Amino acid sequence: MATELYDVAEFQASGMERIDHSQLDEGVQSVMSDLGVPNRRGDTLIGKDTVRGSSKRIKFATMNLYPSSSSDNPGAAEACYRNNIIGVGWGGAGDGEDHRQLSASDYTRRVFEQYGDADSTAENDFAHFSLWLSQGDIVITKNLGPVAKYARVKGPMKHRDESDAEDELREHSIGFYREVEWVDVSPEDAPAKVLSTTCRGTVTLPGLDRASMEQITDQFDSPIGDIDYEIEEEDLSAAFSELAERPANNKDNADRLIDSLSASGSYNGLETVVCTYIQAKTGAVMHPSSRSYPGIEAIFRTTGDQGPETYGVQVKRGSFSDKDKLKRFADRHDRLFLFSSAGDEIDHEDISNIDQLDISDYIINSPYDLPPVEIDRILRAREYMVE
């Protein structure tokens, strides 16, 4: 049974320490060694609990909430966030078992036996999720949108059979989980080291300096607040009307609306919203892009005055890298729509450069056209908008 999680506000850092497998419990070390799990080394924050006087260590990790790269399961990360957990797969290693009789080490051995191979990279990640993470550690995840999310681990790994949300976890192929407390931090307040960190796989160790680690722990003292994922229809209308009142033509607010959309991993909310905007504007039907159109996110087809027409779409957070290639596409097709959140444009008679204000106005005026996960991100972005 998990012990009570101490308040981070009671933690006083005194320095940094390099941690590796040798500093873990001897039983854990033995399992790691038996399974050939490679040693991962990273810096950890050390200090003391100012209330109880005991020494404390806070390890930091990054991970993509399950799944990290599965386009057919886009709701799994949201399910983790909604249920206050971080999760991984491999549930078959514990289905139908008496979980009182199995330890994290037992589950880890089973995962390696049932799913492992000569190059068990994913299974190694599971071992770090099950054995390396511990209560009080802080996990940074970035595949739930641009707002940085910190998850403080509250207890041991559990199998989905033990969860009140078992059906939902099964629906999204989440096999094992850890209960966490979440803190959402705006991009303006997140340490630069966090914003530049790439989250890959299940559990990796970030390259954080002491200042960033301390800033992260401090941000648990003043979380943004709980997020309500169940948005009633009338509340949604009122919320988006409120957005319209913060004037829609304010560039700072337009930037924040765009920045609130997800743009990483297998699901890209920014591309989805831009494509939805184009579809609403032109009436064209979207088709998946193919190798025939490298660098083009989506292809639209419609019937114009002169017959069938083909449109392409390119969406970037930054600037366009190969403008000559994009111009060639425009030369050979009927229209190329471009959107850059950095404001980059290409001058060409068959290229339509979409302005940020066009997208922000569309978001405000057509909320029911948007994916639910993007609606949630947009509503949270209200916290950072100027009045």
pLDDT over threshold 60, residue 71 = no
What pLDDT sits at residue 145?
A: 62
Q: What is the mean pLDDT of residues 268-280?
A: 84
- Please, where are the H alpha helices in the chain? 26-35, 76-82, 104-115, 121-127, 166-171, 192-195, 210-218, 233-244, 251-260, 269-282, 323-332, 356-365, 372-381
167-181, 229-243, 371-385: which range is least confident on average? 229-243
Q: What is the mean pLDDT of residues 78-92?
A: 86
What pLDDT sits at residue 339?
A: 92
What pLDDT sits at residue 63?
A: 85
Looking at per-residue pLDDT, the higher value among 97 and 27 belongs to 27
The model's pTM: 0.58
Neighbours of 281 (CB within 10 A): 13
Q: What percent of the chain has pLDDT over 90?
A: 18
Q: State the Cα–Cα distance between residues 222 and 184, nearest whole angstrom.
A: 10
Q: How far apart, in Å, are the Cα atoms of 245 and each of 163, 225, 235, 310?
A: 42, 23, 15, 37
For 64-82, letters b (16+ CB in 10 Å) and e give bbbbbeeeebbebbbbbbe
- Please, where are the H alpha helices in 38-186? 76-82, 104-115, 121-127, 166-171
Looking at per-residue pLDDT, the higher value among 144 and 27 belongs to 27
Looking at per-residue pLDDT, the higher value among 380 and 280 belongs to 280
- CB distance 78 to 169 below 8 Å: no
79-93, 246-260, 282-296: which range is least confident on average? 246-260
- CB distance 262 to 270 below 8 Å: yes
Q: Sketch out the chain's domains with CATH numbers.
A: 8-218 (no CATH), 233-384 (3.40.1350)
pLDDT over threshold 50, residue 29 = yes
pLDDT over threshold 50, residue 354 = yes
Q: State the Cα–Cα distance between residues 255 and 257, nearest whole angstrom.
A: 5
Question: And the tokens for 26?
Answer: 């001897």
pLDDT over threshold 80, residue 381 = no
- CB distance 61 to 129 below 8 Å: no
Q: State the Cα–Cα distance between residues 202 and 199, nearest whole angstrom.
A: 8
- CB distance 187 to 262 below 8 Å: no
Q: What percent of the chain has pLDDT over 70?
A: 75
pLDDT over threshold 60, residue 368 = yes
- Tens digit of pLDDT for each residue in 310-326? 899 998 877 888 899 99
- Tens digit of pLDDT for each residue in 181-222? 888 877 667 787 887 777 766 788 888 888 888 888 888 875
* Average pLDDT taken over every residue of the chain: 79
Q: State the Cα–Cα distance between residues 191 and 212, nearest whole angstrom.
A: 6
pLDDT over threshold 60, residue 230 = no
What pLDDT sits at residue 364?
A: 76
Query: What contacts 164, CB < 8 A, 6 or more positions away?
Result: none
End-to-end CA distance of the chain: 47
79-93, 233-247, 351-365: which range is least confident on average? 233-247
pLDDT over threshold 70, residue 12 = yes
- Helix/strand/coil for 340: strand
Give the strand pairing for 335-340 and 307-316: parallel
Question: And the tokens for 192?
Answer: 């630069």
pLDDT over threshold 90, residue 353 = yes
Q: For residue 181, report the phi and psi dihedrals to the nearest 5 degrees.
A: -110, 135
Looking at per-residue pLDDT, the higher value among 165 and 247 belongs to 165
Neighbours of 178 (CB within 10 A): 25
What pLDDT sits at residue 73?
A: 65
- Tens digit of pLDDT for each residue in 112-151? 888 776 556 778 888 889 999 999 999 998 766 656 788 9
pLDDT over threshold 60, residue 68 = no
